[in-house]
Structure 1
Amino acid sequence: MPFFNSTIGRPSIFILTGIPGMEAAHHWISIPFCIMYIIALLGNSIILLVVKMHQSLHEPLFLFLSMLAGVDLVLSTTTMPKMLAILWFDAGEILFETCVMQMFFIHMFTGMESGILLAMAFDRFVAICHPLRYSTVLSTSSISKIGLAVLMRNFAVVLPFVFLTTRLPYCNGNEIPHCYCEHMGIVKLACADTTINSIYGLTIAGGVMGMDIALIVSSYARILSVVFHLPTQAARKKAFSTCSSHVCVMLIFYIPAFFSYLTHRFGHQIPHHVHIIVANLYVLMPPMLNPVIYGVRTKQIYVRVLKMFSMHSGFPEH
């Protein structure tokens, strides 16, 4: 396969180099990444299975949790198999078209994760601030529409990345110092003005994820206001408990996401291998930790998972 296709001004293949400066440790680094990926696959599959098997869990919170688990499965599987191939076998070659497709799925499903976290914040807001209207506002039909809206929103805002990336000529080599293809990593190899790409990327980060964060913070400000006015300490404790898992999941997702995004543009003083490691964790930690956090801290999920494993292991339930 030729390196460069001069008729369309771009390489036929890109080379993902892994973690720059840490090539000698790739095999060791792959061990925790592989373990985290296995945990992500098992954890999110169990969440989906438990919610599907138990009709009593077909409630808004658990339906949103199922959406989150599905997104996490796609997000981790979009990146991890290729990442492990690079770390294990130095198999960094990836077709230009495949690289752009991977970029599309990564950005789309990270955006979907943000949208679902917003939907889960809205769920907690209605449950705590307007409990009498909960079943009316968050009907099965409403949840389906919210899920579809999240999907369509992110498809619409991420699709232009594909056109903005494929329109550029690439003559600055074909090596991407990363473990997966993402927008700015590809664009840095272009030999043309990439201002539009940068502006659009910043606009989407600020306009979509920034808006999601603002609405989430607003929801939790209202929730805290209501919780502090609850009549008993037990009621306040229960309300805090129902929200704590969601807050943990949001912090795990948004902190590395914005660190990775902003260091690509402004963090030139940060060692490149640190940025790449954090970027890898950004697509792996939420899928791994989300089912663990919800499985441990959500009683309905925790109890049913224990029952499922007790039945299959043959041990008596306690």
Structure 2
Amino acid sequence: MDIMHNIVTEFILTGFPGLHPQYYGLASAVLFLVYVVTVKANAAVFYLFATNKSLHKPVYYIILNVSACDLLFSTTTLPKIISRYWFQSGRISFTACFVQMYLVHYLGAVNSFIFALMAFDRYYAVCHPLRYTNIVKKFTVHMLSVTAWIIAIASPLLMVIRAYPLPYCASNIINHCYCDHIGVTVLACTDRAPYSFPAFVGAMITLLGPLAFILFSYSSIFIEISKVTNLGNCGKSLSTCSTQLIIISLYYVPRCFVYFASQVGIKFSADLRIVIIMLYSLVPPMINPLIYCLRAKDIRECLMKQFYKEKSRFHQFTMNRPAH
């Protein structure tokens, strides 16, 4: 088995299999733009948080965790696929592929748990407002956030530990934009069923477990809101949940669609499947900060304050610049 295992020393990421070479430059430019926007937008969220004490609230600490996940996921996946089209270099070493596989699944699990924490925050804010400040404290959010990052380690680690020793002795071409468990293990020269089913169960637990809690939380929230007779209060309650609900929906809806579509026999072409996966993997990290800034009142106010401050500095600079 060791001899067979060592035949494959690297993998080749195809990216989008049906993409014509004449569009490689355009693809790399678009992906590079997505990465730059993602990094700058999420870095701006961290900057606003660091420079505005008004944002040092439990709900924004949760948002910081989402931004951290988004930044790390994009940095884990995008540079390699950009180089695939920019430099025609889709090669990734055997070990690096499994490291990327681990990080992809790990960060996905962390995101899922953080979204459950986000739902927990909104549940107490709407359903138990008088107890909110006593339950949802900064310390509580910090502890739950750290717990999310820790418990997410186990399932992806076991997944990689079981997949790494498999014999990879034939094709080394991964029909994907990054290394994930399915894309890699289908290349193993052995029956992957004993390995794929536990991985599927682990993925469903990290995906559907938090999702079940999220559905419970928001169902309770909507039931509570339906009892409110004052339209103003009802609108305010809905507004406090809308930002989180949009972000959570962007993460879960397409993933669940792909999973359940495959279970009921709906088939996608390889290109379409990869496009859908890339859309739900890379678009939310890019647009989540925009959603925060447009929907979260505190962040919007801090952003406008920062904008006017920079505008004032620029105006002062131009006024004080000596005339030639």
Give the TM-score of the pair, scaled to structure 1.
0.92
Partner of 2:194: 196
Say if 1:263 and 1:227 are closer, same or farther in 2 by CA, change over 3 A: closer
Say if 1:10 and 1:203 are closer, same or farther in 2 by CA, change over 3 A: farther
Could you list the per-position Cα deviations for residues 74-105 of structure 1 after superposition, in whole angstroms to 9, with x for gaps in the alignment? 01110011111112121111001000000100
- Between the aligned partners of 2:264 and 2:3, the Cα distance in structure 1 is 32
Assess if the C-alpha contact under 8 Å between 1:10 and 1:171 holds in 2.
Answer: yes
Could you list the per-position Cα deviations for residues 86-139 of structure 1 after superposition, in whole angstroms to 9, with x for gaps in the alignment? 121211110010000001001000111111111001100001111111121112
- Between the aligned partners of 2:159 and 2:270, the Cα distance in structure 1 is 24
Given candidates 272, 276, 280, the residue that maps to 1:274 is: 272
Letter in 1 for 2:241: C
- Between the aligned partners of 2:208 and 2:214, the Cα distance in structure 1 is 10
SS at structure 2 position matched to 1:94: strand
1:158 to 2:136 alignment: no
SS at structure 2 position matched to 1:11: coil
Q: Which moved more, 1:124-133 or 1:264-273?
A: 264-273
Assess if the C-alpha contact under 8 Å between 1:99 and 1:181 holds in 2.
Answer: yes
Deviation, 1:172, is 2.5
Could you list the per-position Cα deviations for residues 215-236 of structure 1 after superposition, in whole angstroms to 9, with x for gaps in the alignment? 1010011101111112310000
Assess if the C-alpha contact under 8 Å between 2:4 and 2:169 holds in 1.
Answer: no
Letter in 2 for 1:6: I
Could you list the per-position Cα deviations for residues 255-289 of structure 1 after superposition, in whole angstroms to 9, with x for gaps in the alignment? 23334556778767311011111222222111011
Q: CA RMSD in A?
A: 1.9
Given candidates 273, 282, 285, the residue that maps to 2:283 is: 285
Q: Which moved more, 1:247-256 or 1:108-117?
A: 247-256
- What 5-or-longer segments of structure 1 have no aligned partner? none
Assess if the C-alpha contact under 8 Å between 2:14 and 2:174 holds in 1.
Answer: yes
- Between the aligned partners of 1:283 and 1:135, the Cα distance in structure 2 is 34
Partner of 1:15: 12
Letter in 2 for 1:154: A
SS at structure 1 position matched to 2:152: helix
SS at structure 2 position matched to 1:181: coil
Letter in 2 for 1:305: L
- Between the aligned partners of 1:64 and 1:83, the Cα distance in structure 2 is 29
Say if 1:54 and 1:111 are closer, same or farther in 2 by CA, change over 3 A: same
- Between the aligned partners of 2:80 and 2:44, the Cα distance in structure 1 is 24
Letter in 1 for 2:42: N
1:68 to 2:69 alignment: no
Letter in 1 for 2:285: P
Partner of 2:319: none
Partner of 1:106: 104
How many residues align structurally?
A: 312
Letter in 1 for 2:211: I
Could you list the per-position Cα deviations for residues 160-219 of structure 1 after superposition, in whole angstroms to 9, with x for gaps in the alignment? 011111121012211111111001000010011111222122212322211111110100
Deviation, 1:306, is 1.8
- Between the aligned partners of 1:277 and 1:122, the Cα distance in structure 2 is 32
Q: Which moved more, 1:188-197 or 1:7-16?
A: 7-16
Letter in 1 for 2:222: L
Q: Percent identity?
A: 31
Q: Which moved more, 1:200-209 or 1:44-53?
A: 200-209
Assess if the C-alpha contact under 8 Å between 1:169 and 1:190 holds in 2.
Answer: yes
Partner of 1:6: 3
Partner of 1:228: 226
Letter in 2 for 1:70: A
Assess if the C-alpha contact under 8 Å between 2:5 and 2:168 holds in 1.
Answer: no
Assess if the C-alpha contact under 8 Å between 1:263 and 1:275 holds in 2.
Answer: no
- Between the aligned partners of 1:261 and 1:103, the Cα distance in structure 2 is 19
- What 5-or-longer segments of structure 2 have no aligned partner? 316-324
Given candidates 53, 56, 61, the residue that maps to 2:54 is: 56
Given candidates 297, 300, 320, the residue that maps to 1:299 is: 297
- Between the aligned partners of 1:18 and 1:202, the Cα distance in structure 2 is 23
- Between the aligned partners of 1:265 and 1:186, the Cα distance in structure 2 is 20
Assess if the C-alpha contact under 8 Å between 2:5 and 2:169 holds in 1.
Answer: no
Deviation, 1:59, is 0.8
Could you list the per-position Cα deviations for residues 242-267 of structure 1 after superposition, in whole angstroms to 9, with x for gaps in the alignment? 11111111111112333455677876
Assess if the C-alpha contact under 8 Å between 1:184 and 1:264 holds in 2.
Answer: no
Letter in 2 for 1:237: G
Say if 1:180 and 1:263 are closer, same or farther in 2 by CA, change over 3 A: farther
Give the TM-score of the pair, scaled to structure 2.
0.91
